[in-house]
Copies of this chain bind each other. A is one copy, B any other.
Amino acid sequence: MWMAELSERSDVPVPTIKYYLREGLLPSGQSVGATRATYDDSHVRRLHLIRALVTVGGMGLDRVRDVLTALEDTSADLHQVLAVAHEQLSPVPQAEPSDVAQAQVAALMRDRGWRVQPEGRHARAVAAALDTLTDAGLPLDEDILNTCAEAAGLLAASEVSGVPSEDREGAATWVITGTVLVEPVLLSLRRLAHEHHSSRRFT
């Protein structure tokens, strides 16, 4: 397809596509003569991924490049690709979490048998969130923390089993949009569930 059709199918304006080509984020098309080139479905998929990274993931082009580099590294397995994508989505926690909170998270991971990096940014983000509660004079009850992990694990298992594994770009797009866009569903369902349980308990 020509550039115009690529723009239409990907919903990305032509000047933006040209910019991505210049920056090397989108591979060149097949040259036809001196000034024209044709593109194929792989370009449409790549543009969907870039747009998901930028608009849904809120990433700058440097972080987009890191994800694409991981994607193109054929020695990386899909887990590594997704880990890079995921990492670029999560801001590094500003404050160093307390030792107490980090130990609490490490114990939680051990108890549940979760295979995660204990010093990774997700584990640190959980610890930092626990510190915020403690600092507010409302340390999170152990039972609620366990239930939180149980609930998160239940959802993540279901989500990861739905990741399309045959297509690396499709998988990365799915993980990024899913990770970000499912958050509001989960949070508003939690508030709805609060409404239900509060009604059951207090009326």
Contact = CB atoms under 8 A, between A and B. Distances in A.
Contact of A144 (B138, B143, B149, B162): B162
Contacts of A165: 201-202
Number of copies: 2
A193 B161 contact: no
Interface in A100-145: 109, 114-117, 120, 122-123, 125-126, 128-130, 132-133, 136, 138, 140-141, 143-145
Most buried by B among A143, A163, A196: A196
Contacts of A181: 129, 132-133, 136, 138
A79 interface: yes
Given A136-B177, A144-B162, 12 more contacts: A114-B192, A115-B199, A120-B192, A129-B188, A151-B151, A152-B189, A152-B190, A156-B194, A157-B193, A160-B194, A160-B200, A186-B187
A125 to B, nearest CB: 4
10 contacts: A86-B194, A114-B196, A115-B196, A125-B184, A126-B189, A126-B192, A136-B177, A152-B186, A152-B189, A159-B197
Interface SS of A by simple majority? helix
Contacts of A178: 138
Interface residues of A, number: 78
B183 A83 contact: no
B147 A154 contact: yes
A120 B195 contact: yes
